[in-house]
Structure 1
């Protein structure tokens, strides 16, 4: 046997390797810096290896009723450790396994563990069958809903702590069910598919109605401020906002992720991005993003917050937020950084201007011509975090011919201005006003389409769309 004999393993592999000439990194036909001693020939190496002391091992796992147990995990511990998983008929097999004595353990969720021993003799066929007790079980069923004030059903995953049992909710009703053992402690972890919610743990006895609270940062859809709340889901400059290019390149603030970096902030979907890394090495990237005027005196809280990702790495870029209460005639800095702040939620106290009725904010980025990295901004909010009037629309955008999900499709409600961007599974979630809505759906390489939805206040409505590929 070659086990433990590393020199013999080396000689077997190199001795059967196929010489492969390649002189681009020096060397010769027999040994070079591209293929070493040649390409490994697995079949010849196995044929060359000594037979050693091996046998075969197989068996069947059944429950106490004689029914096969599929998916049972068996671990054989002896001179070596081998693992196997039973097939649909409860069977497993090793055609070749080192001879010797093995301790065996068999495990599967909802079954009692089984143990035993087996001896594998050289050139002989060993059999190890075992029985696992199917445990008494209980079904846990319930509903997962928003606990922040909207009360709508949530798309979420409910699972046991180690993931032995997992159930996804119906995204339109929030309903779920899963099976766990009747005995023992089996706390359930609940994690939503929507941003802005906490991960909660509940006891199965309290899982009929699971209300998930919103997390800090006000990132959950349907929550925000009526004073200023911008999530950049239309993938364009928001209405009334202004983008100014102070640099000598063509890279001011953008909103459609033209370089495919993806939203690195704690937010999701669309975002605003000032990117020096995408610019020319010697060019100056310097740009302003200026909000439309808003009435700060009407805000429930005089606080600015946003989902943030700024990375510089000490190269030389700077980011700052400035405030103007006189139509942009003068600006005062309220926030600044030249140090990395990655995936943070930034907050600024605006109490000093609480009586102002026409306030503007300027997000200014400059790389000082150092060819640095980028600043990403999402979920710009002034005021408190309130449950807004409206409902959720969710669905999938797919290719009409193939059914393939379309990632990066834009879904916009032109009546309200609300928008969303589909993820890798083609899914989108959009918060908009109640009533009959016609959503506009578009994606590069596809003809534009629509999706109809009747949106109810505090509810979730489904609306899928299929797009025809352009010829």
Structure 2
């Protein structure tokens, strides 16, 4: 292909880090010809990327301390004091907008600083943007801010960096084009002189910060081969996870990719920033991987100044700096990306958040938790090192056991987990260790080992299954109907689960004796609460569970809703109804409206006719919205269990959609619900317990933090109360559907009552414990 480009006289640059050629001079005929070649996967236009938008912090922030809040929050200053390292010997690179190399807080750590007042920019600066080929420059400020958070220190009151002993180099590849980013990634693997000559991999940085990515949710594999090349060369790439929150599944690429280590943004109160992108990422991967300070982070900006910004761009360099501290303290880990990742994950401070799924220990808001540099170094091997490894099996069957926790206690502390083959391995300081292997359902086992210098200590475990007792009972309706329920009964936090028999609601679980567990019952029919009960298992135990219906939705079969309505608004008149108000908090005229068009989208709520909406997309890239739709004052003093229901369509893109309630006529407000995921054609019902018995109630649909986002639509709003009562005698008809030819189960078959056709069900695959077949309720 290159020969054909030469023959055609095309201008191009061939990249060695990725199998791509950037053609800047060629004809359409040449492009069509090359597209037909077998070795050409595709021809793509050059794409321009946008630098992630950061939020300037308020101007009335308190005067800075010598050590910035984020540096102290991750305990980096404690690392300096306790370990006597600040990143010495480690080089951090940044693909960003560049950096002001002679900024008072950056000049001392610049690798091109000769220490005598002169500078050598060869191998230390790559001008991907073509704006300053001879020396580093930052025309936008983002890169200088990021670099300051990694290494900044002016020797006085501006200790802004996590690893001020490390050195930095920079490429301004973000974000003219994708080609500039690829070229920067290539340069980071083998830096060159400023004229592009004499690439030298020995001058590559140890850590590469990437505070950039797509500005919309994406799993695009862009630069995946670059990331793999970095890792193969022992370089740790750190990525911002994106500023597209608070919705779930908003991670931006490349941070969303499984192979890339991405960072979320929390504030000084350890609350996640609303704009911080959430997971999942590629193929359901938990994202971000970890979180770090990213809100109101003060750092260096061009002009020898300082400013406070917010974004995952500010969080990511905290992690890059922490890795520099780790590798300076433990030279054995330099280039060991896998072990470093394990240490970062294992020493993060857990921050439970179930908003977007995951566990308390690893979720799609905070990832593994909050970065802790001191804990990171405490767990790291230092001095002479060796390997501890082994395999854990079931003593009764000999089969490998996955998910066994192996606690390593000795010169360093580690918590490991066995993989799918039952194996575990870790690099640790040489010395004597106590190992403990444990997993729910098996007896804990311990052993002592000595890890030799530059050697391996192997310790296998064969865990005996624990003695069990039977926990059994029934799951029945607890709201008056009383019939047995088909439900999954599980031990919370464990893989132990079963399903009830739908005919009688019965279940049984074998649970280890001596364990205090939490049983959880999830009814497989719609409209029921999840019920939990704590049980201390000392012998066979009977535990009956009675889930109750969800009164607000009242969708459980066999129940009917009765409503008392105080306010019902369809918006069908196409104008703002009497008593309703629209607030313009930015005083820019970009507010809620009522009509049938919705700014070009039409009614997507599931309702008909006119509706209320605010369309951020229609205001374009220069628009910004902070606006509220406010209801009239309502007297709810005579209602029990008041709630509001409405149809909505909401597509998030970095904006926030809140439903607020006031019980004093609008003087003060409390947020009762925030939507973070797409809601198109969805009817929602929100309980208003704080409004019960109140006579001056107002509701507010508050749409804010919207900058060229999408929209929020609301229709058919009803405020009142609802009771959910059994309809009378009846129960579930349960059976199975099988093929007459061979008796095999048939899934997806409709089963309908001949007498009452609306009573019908559909067969579906069910666990062996229950009886596969349709479910329908006959009144």
Please classify the TM superposition score into its range, dividing by the shorter chain length: 0.5 to 0.7
Conserved? CA contact 1:307–1:377, under 8 Å? no
Matches within 5 A, 1:20-419: 20-23=126-129, 28=136, 31-34=170-173, 38=188, 40=208, 41-45=230-234, 53-62=384-393, 65=396, 67-68=398-399, 70-71=401-402, 72-87=404-419, 90-94=422-426, 96-154=427-485, 156-161=487-492, 163-167=493-497, 169=499, 174=505, 176-192=507-523, 194-197=526-529, 199-201=531-533, 203=535, 207=542, 209-214=544-549, 217=552, 219-222=554-557, 223-226=559-562, 243-247=572-576, 249-251=594-596, 275-278=612-615, 305-307=642-644, 339-343=669-673, 344-346=686-688, 384-388=723-727
Conserved? CA contact 2:518–2:532, under 8 Å? no
Q: CA shift at 1:134, angstroms?
A: 2.0
Q: Which has the higher contact order (CA 8 A, sep 6+)?
A: 1
Q: CA shift at 1:104, angstroms?
A: 1.2
Conserved? CA contact 1:252–1:287, under 8 Å? no
Q: CA shift at 1:58, angstroms?
A: 2.6
Q: How many residues align?
A: 347
2:615 aligned counterpart, secondary structure: coil
Q: CA shift at 1:5, angstroms?
A: 4.9
Conserved? CA contact 2:406–2:438, under 8 Å? yes
Q: CA shift at 1:70, angstroms?
A: 0.6
The C-alpha deviation readout for 1:39-60, integer Å capped at 9, x for no partner, is 6434444799965733333323
2:90 paired residue among 10, 18, 35: 10
1:243 aligned counterpart, secondary structure: coil
Conserved? CA contact 1:62–1:69, under 8 Å? yes
Q: CA shift at 1:192, angstroms?
A: 4.2
Residues 1:60 and 1:349: Cα distance change in structure 2 (over 3 Å):
closer
TM-score by length of 2: 0.34
- 2:240 is aligned to none
- 2:103 is aligned to none
In 2, distance between residues paired with 1:242 and 1:393? 42
2:442 aligned counterpart, secondary structure: coil
Residues 1:202 and 1:127: Cα distance change in structure 2 (over 3 Å):
closer
In 2, distance between residues paired with 1:171 and 1:335? 50
In 2, distance between residues paired with 1:197 and 1:8? 56
In 2, distance between residues paired with 1:318 and 1:141? 44
CA RMSD of aligned residues (A): 6.1
Richer in helix (by share): 2
Residues 1:75 and 1:434: Cα distance change in structure 2 (over 3 Å):
farther
In 2, distance between residues paired with 1:168 and 1:270? 40
Which sections of structure 2, spanning at least 5 residues, go unmatched?
A: 1-82, 95-110, 112-122, 138-168, 175-183, 190-207, 209-229, 237-326, 333-382, 577-592, 632-637, 649-654, 674-685, 735-747, 763-772
Which sections of structure 1, spanning at least 5 residues, go unmatched?
A: 230-236, 261-268, 289-300, 321-333, 351-362, 395-426, 442-451, 459-471
The C-alpha deviation readout for 1:161-207, integer Å capped at 9, x for no partner, is 5x235425369555544321133443423344644526331647665
Residues 1:99 and 1:4: Cα distance change in structure 2 (over 3 Å):
farther
Residues 1:342 and 1:217: Cα distance change in structure 2 (over 3 Å):
same
The C-alpha deviation readout for 1:31-77, integer Å capped at 9, x for no partner, is 24557994643444479996573333332335555835512221213
Q: CA shift at 1:106, angstroms?
A: 0.9
Conserved? CA contact 1:252–1:285, under 8 Å? no
Conserved? CA contact 2:594–2:611, under 8 Å? no
In 2, distance between residues paired with 1:127 and 1:221? 55
Q: CA shift at 1:148, angstroms?
A: 0.8
2:391 aligned counterpart, secondary structure: strand
In 1, distance between residues paired with 2:671 and 2:647? 5
Conserved? CA contact 1:55–1:99, under 8 Å? yes
Conserved? CA contact 1:145–1:211, under 8 Å? yes
Q: CA shift at 1:129, angstroms?
A: 2.8
